[in-house]
Amino acid sequence: MAKKGAIIELRDVWKTYQMGATTVQALRGISLQIFEDEFVAVQGPSGSGKSTSVNMIGCLDLPTKGSIFLDGKDISKLSESELAQIRGRRIGFVFQQFNLIPTLSAIENVMLPMTFQGVPFEKRRERAENLLKLVDMDDRANHRPSELSGGEQQRIAIARALVNDPEVVLADEPTGNLDSKTGAMIMDFLKKLNKEGKTIVMVTHDNNLARKAERVIFLKDGEIVKHLS
Ligand SMILES: Nc1ncnc2c1ncn2[C@@H]1O[C@H](COP(=O)(O)OP(=O)(O)O)[C@@H](O)[C@H]1O
Ligand SMILES: [Mg+2]
């Protein structure tokens, strides 16, 4: 069983990708636990397995070998639709490329995930307005992504990640496409969310940002090489 308080545990997780004749060992026996209310940073060189690990933590992907436990339950025993429910309700994702839908306005982008959870229109709109206020973007609600700066798009993406009130927010290099000042501001938003009770796991290249996390996991060649807390 997972230790009490661990929301997610990876236990000896291996991930192998087969690319024609080539086998890529993306993860080689990763074991880690993510506890309630933590702020964890994941660092490591490009190709070290950061995104693969975070996708495992987010139940977006299953390991080739090893186990993932959510609240102490082995997720390999869940059906695909149960996993989709968990992802939709308990986990929010933020990506380096923002991944906003270009044809939708800021507020429509934020409302979209609630559509899949069957939330009525008026409720979706009200919740999206509140979240846009939270990230100081309520005055840009009707702008398309192309009319917003990178930092503004990422704030919209953070608002979108929060719509279903997830316990865990996973951010894969959320500041990777931003200048350092804007990146620091995004980090401040994530810190604020953490203080309000969200568990945050953030991949970053930036030592200055990683230092602001409570705990840093260093990956190299698909293995955890260092763990600072
Ligand atoms: N879908 C995939 N198919 C094949 N190889 C992949 C795939 N995703 C990742 N990899 C490989 O797995 C390794 C780890 O990738 P990734 O987790 O994206 O690293 P990071 O996020 O640290 O840059 C890399 O060698 C990468 O090329
Ligand atoms: Mg990556």
Ranges of each domain in the chain: 6-96+159-228
Query: Per-residue pLDDT averaged across 178-203, rounded?
Result: 93
Q: Which of 70, 158, 144, 58 is nearest to 105 (CA)?
A: 144
Report the alpha-carbon distance of residue 13 to residue 53 in Å, rounded: 9
Residue with CA at minimum distance from ligand 1 atom 3: 17
21 lines ligand 1 (CB under 6 A): no
15 lines ligand 1 (CB under 6 A): no
Q: How confident is the model at residue 4 (pLDDT cuts 50, 70, 90)?
A: low
Q: Give me the pLDDT at residue 151, please.
A: 94
Point out the ligand 1 atom lying closest to the alpha carbon of residue 172.
21
Query: Per-residue pLDDT averaged across 162-181, rounded?
Result: 93
**Torsions phi, psi for 38 (to 5 deg):** -80, 160
Q: How confident is the model at residue 3 (pLDDT cuts 50, 70, 90)?
A: very low
- 1 has pLDDT over 50: no
- The rounded mean pLDDT for the chain is 92
Ligand 2 midpoint to CA 175 (Å): 12
20 lines ligand 1 (CB under 6 A): no
Query: Per-residue pLDDT averaged across 45-70, rounded?
Result: 94
Query: Per-residue pLDDT averaged across 75-86, rounded?
Result: 87
Q: Give me the pLDDT at residue 88, please.
A: 84
Q: Give me the pLDDT at residue 210, please.
A: 92
Find out whether 187 and 207 touch, Cβ atoms under 8 Å: no
- The superfamily (CATH) of domain 6-96+159-228 is P-loop containing nucleotide triphosphate hydrolases (3.40.50.300)
- 176 has pLDDT over 50: yes
Ligand 2 midpoint to CA 44 (Å): 9
Point out the ligand 1 atom lying closest to the alpha carbon of residue 45.
22
Report the alpha-carbon distance of residue 213 to residue 229 in Å, rounded: 9
In this prediction, what percent of the chain has a pLDDT beyond 90?
79
Q: Give me the pLDDT at residue 78, please.
A: 87
Lowest average pLDDT, out of 21-30, 83-92, 126-135, 220-229, goes to 83-92
Ligand 1 midpoint to CA 79 (Å): 25
- 85 has pLDDT over 90: no
Q: Give me the pLDDT at residue 133, please.
A: 95
Ligand 1 midpoint to CA 16 (Å): 9
Query: Sheet holding 91-95: strands in order across?
Result: 91-95, 168-172, 199-203, 39-43, 215-220, 223-228
79 lines ligand 1 (CB under 6 A): no
Residues listed for the chain: 229
Q: What is the DSSP letter of 147?
A: G
Q: Give me the pLDDT at residue 2, please.
A: 43
The string of pLDDT tens digits covering residues 115-167 is 877 889 999 999 999 999 999 999 999 999 999 999 999 999 999 999 989 99
The string of pLDDT tens digits covering residues 94-109 is 999 999 999 999 999 9
Ligand 2 midpoint to CA 213 (Å): 18
Query: Per-residue pLDDT averaged across 200-219, rounded?
Result: 94
Residue with CA at minimum distance from ligand 1 atom 8: 52
Ligand 2 midpoint to CA 57 (Å): 14
Question: Which tokens is 139 given?
Answer: 């005055």
Residues around ligand 2, an ion, CB closer than 5 A: 50-51
Q: Give me the pLDDT at residue 115, please.
A: 84
The per-residue b/e assignment along 102-138, b for 16 or more CB within 10 angstroms, e otherwise, is eeebbbbbbbbbbeeeebeeeebbebbbebbebbebb
Residue type, 25: Q
Owner of token pair 């690319």: 19
